[in-house]
Amino acid sequence: MAIDLIANLNSNITATRWRGLKLYNAYRLLVALLLLLSQGLLNNDHWLQNAKADIFSVLALGYFVFSAISATLSWFEKPKIDISLPIQIIVDIIFILLLMHAQEGSQSGLGLLLIITIASASLISEGRLALFYAAIASIGVLLEQSYRILFIAQSASNYTPAVLLCLGCFATAWLAYSLAKRTRESELLASQRGLDVQNMAQINALITHEMQDGVLVVDQFFKIKHHNNQAKTLLGLESENWHEKPLNEVSPEITEMMQHWLGETEPSREFVPTNIMASNILKLNTSSRELRLRFLPISENRRQGAVIFIEDWSQMQTQAHQVKLAALGRLTANIAHEIRNPLSAISHANQLLQEEDTDPATKRMLQIIGDNVQRLDQIIKDVLELNRRDRTNQEMVQLEHFIIDFYTQFCAVEKIPETCFKLNLIKAETLISFDRRHLNQILWNLCKNGWRHCKKLENSLKLTLTLIDKTKTVQIEISDDGEGIPDSVRNHLFEPFFTTEKSGTGLGLYIARELADANGAKLQYKPLSPDSKTGLSSVTDSGSQFVIHIKKV
């Protein structure tokens, strides 16, 4: 970006110098024409013969021809400005010196043309070679005056006008050089400021376009001056250019809110109360989400326009809910640690009482105590496991081998006949990155729930491994032929502490989903119908299926 700006600046400077040289050529052509008219050459039929006898007329004619050629070349910008300008100025100085010599030397008024030439050349060349042009003109003037004193026998007092003319040339060159230097510094400063402004504009555009909130900038005429893509996404409108478009055509609701905001009383500048920010916040309900709009004035006066920030209120509520759940999880984990010690003491005392007391009624009461102690202990274990869901130790797992080992262990521990639990694997070496302990707990929880609710017949419980090449994911499906889950329960299936079992804690599926999310996987519930391709053709109930989506390595 900086290189392009410098290149544009150089091209603009070159174009400006060419315009200055063209203007100077027009001036020089006019001066040469006036010199010819002063000699009456254009009104004389034998002007060529008179020109041969008059040196001034010949020089004036030559000066005119030179001016015309220079003007033509400058019009076509040939050759380069750094070559054309010095050549023209040096030749111009020589012609002016010869014209001065043809008249009365430095005593004639033609010496003023040198000052104009040096000043113009210095400005066009931006101060470069300014003193060089002055030196050439001064040397020429002094040599011409010396020639007159030595060979024409003029008085030495005539050096005074020549010296003054030389001093005028150097003073003009120095002033032109100083002016050109300041001009260059101003142009450089302006280019730097322009670069800073463009960089700042790019940074602002990048920030606004990458913001999670939508941004609308509206002027006093309710026209959109700037917006980002997130504003279109949140408002759910078509992707088109909104620049200079009336806000009423984009969103009449926001227009009405802004008019209401403009009608409110502006806060005093002496102090800003804490509820001022809240007064600038309005809510907008769309078909897909709930939005929160925040209006901020562009200047001190609200009537000059506003910056409208659009936030997804539903997403903010979800994030706040997640923060609350995280805080609640830490709290329950601390409470669970504190409960575990007295619970262990109760369990130990209960076991001692069961060994000593032989009364059946008392044993029944102690058995109830023991069952509830075990239930509380299981809840504590689930809560502590939930608190450790982010402490994953992911490693490379060969999925087929892992599932075979899990299948063997699960059937042995839960005492499940192998005919009732069917395993469908693929013949592939599927590698995933997962915490082995977490994967084992997820599968154990899902399979145990499936076995609890299935009919415990042949192939009542199934574990199927499916590979999807398009998305490079692998699916682990656990299905059963039970009664399925009612529609009223499905929305609360993965909520913590929600259960339909009398002895359940309601944390099993919630922990399974949290552990899956912690490892970059996704756990979903899918109801099964009797006619689906699951091999459950012998059942009359729908059944259930849980699917784990895992990315392949």
Each residue's pLDDT tens digit, 443-477: 998 998 888 888 888 888 999 998 887 668 889 99
- Pairing mode, if any, of strands 421-424 and 473-480? unpaired
Q: Is residue 482 part of a domain?
A: yes
Q: For the chain, how are helix, strand and coil distributed in percent, rounded to 5? A: 60, 15, 25
What is the pLDDT, as a whole number, of residue 13? 74
What is the overall mean pLDDT for the chain? 78
Q: What are residue 552's DSSP bridge partners? A: 432
Contact between residue 544 and residue 528 where contact means Cβ atoms under 8 Å apart: yes
Domain that holds residue 28: 2-192
Q: How far, in Å, CA of 252 to CA of 163, rounded?
A: 80
pLDDT of residue 504: 62
Residues 284 and 327 in one domain: no
Residue 531: predicted pLDDT: 46
Q: Please report the pLDDT score of residue 285 as a whole number.
A: 62
Higher per-residue confidence, 93 vs 3: 93
For residue 342, the model assigns a pLDDT of: 84
* Stretch 219-234: mean pLDDT: 82
In percent, how much of the chain has pLDDT > 70? 78
| Claim to verify: residue 367 and residue 469 sit in the same structural domain | no
Confidence class for position 345, pLDDT limits 50, 70, 90? confident
The pLDDT-based confidence of 119 (bands split at 50, 70, 90) is confident
- Look up residue 326 and give its two tokens: 């995280």
Note whether residue 399 is domain-resident.
yes
CA distance 518 to 386: 11
From 286, 313, 340, give the residue that closes a domain. Answer: 313
pLDDT at 238 over 60: yes
Q: Does 202 map to a domain?
A: no
Q: How far apart are CA 377 and CA 336, in angstroms?
A: 9
Q: Give every strand in the sheet of 473-480, ordered side by side.
A: 421-424, 461-468, 473-480, 544-551, 522-527
Q: Note whether 500 and 365 are same-domain residues.
A: no
More confident: 356 or 389:
356
**Confidence (pLDDT) at 164:** 86
Q: How many residues does the chain have?
A: 553
Residue 409 has pLDDT above 70, yes or no: yes
Phi (first) and psi of residue 223, to 5 degrees? -110, 140
Task: Report pLDDT digits (tens) over 20-36.
Answer: 889 989 999 999 888 88
78 and 156: one domain? Answer: yes
CATH code of the domain covering residue 497: 3.30.565.10
Query: Given this model, what pLDDT does residue 463 score?
Result: 92
Q: Judge residue 134's burial from the number of C-beta atoms within 10 Å of its C-beta, 0-12 exposed, 13-18 middle, 19 or more buried.
A: buried
Q: Which DSSP helix (H) or strand (E) runs through 326?
A: helix 313-356
Q: At 458, is the secondary structure helix, strand, or coil?
A: coil
* Averaged pLDDT for residues 197-218: 80
Residues 332 and 301 in one domain: no
- The mean pLDDT of 180-190, rounded to a whole number, is 80
Number of Cβ atoms within 10 Å of the Cβ of 549: 16
Is 206 among the domain residues?
no
State yes or no: pLDDT of 42 exceeds 50.
no
If asked whether residues 181 and 322 sit together in one domain, one would say: no
pTM surpassing 0.75?
no
Is 434 among the domain residues? yes
Choose between 500 and 300: higher pLDDT: 300
Q: Do 381 and 401 reside in the same domain of the chain?
A: no
User: Are 57 and 50 contacting, i.e. CB atoms less than 8 angstroms apart?
Assistant: yes
Query: Is a pLDDT exceeding 80 seen at residue 137?
Result: yes
* pLDDT given for residue 329 in this prediction: 67
Q: What is the mean pLDDT of residues 76-88?
A: 86
Nearest-5° Cα angle at 372, 371 to 375: 90
Distance CA 491, CA 480 (A): 20
Are 129 and 225 contained in the same domain?
no
Output the pLDDT for position 478. 92
Stretch 257-262: mean pLDDT = 84
Q: How confident is the model at residue 282 (pLDDT cuts 50, 70, 90)?
A: low
Cross-strand bridge partners of residue 461: 421, 480
Do residues 52 and 105 share a domain? yes
Assigned token pair, 47: 């002007």
Residue where the block lists tokens 């008019």: 259
Backbone angles phi, psi at 473, to 5 degrees: -125, 160
Query: Is 326's pLDDT higher than 80?
Result: no
Domains contained in the chain, number: 4
End-of-domain residue from the set 358, 387, 416:
387
Alpha carbons 118 and 133: distance in angstroms, whole number: 6
Q: Who's near 157: CB < 8 A, 6+ residues apart? A: none
Q: What is the DSSP letter of 245?
A: -
**pLDDT at res. 154:** 67
Pick the residue with more confidence: 495 or 293?
293
- pLDDT tens, position by position, 504-526: 666 778 888 888 888 888 888 88
Same domain, 25 and 120: yes
* CA-to-CA separations, 86 to 91, 96, 123, 124, 213, in angstroms, rounded: 9, 15, 13, 10, 60
Q: Which residue shows structure tokens 């599927």? A: 430
Could you tell me if residue 465 is inside a domain? yes
CATH code of residue 218: 3.30.450.20
> Three-state SS for 355?
helix
268 domain residue, yes or no: no
Residue 247 lies in a domain: yes
Q: What is the 3-state secondary structure (H, E, C) of 152-176?
A: CCCCHHHHHHHHHHHHHHHHHHHHH
- CATH number of the domain bearing residue 354: 1.10.287.130
Do 140 and 170 lie in a common domain? yes
One DSSP character per residue, 86-120 reads: HHHHHHHHHHHHHHHHHTTGGGSTTHHHHHHHHHH
pLDDT at 199: 82
Residues 151 and 216 in one domain: no
pLDDT value, residue 535: 42
pLDDT at 212 over 70: yes
- Pick the residue with more confidence: 212 or 270? 212
Q: Region 224-237: what's the mean pLDDT?
A: 78
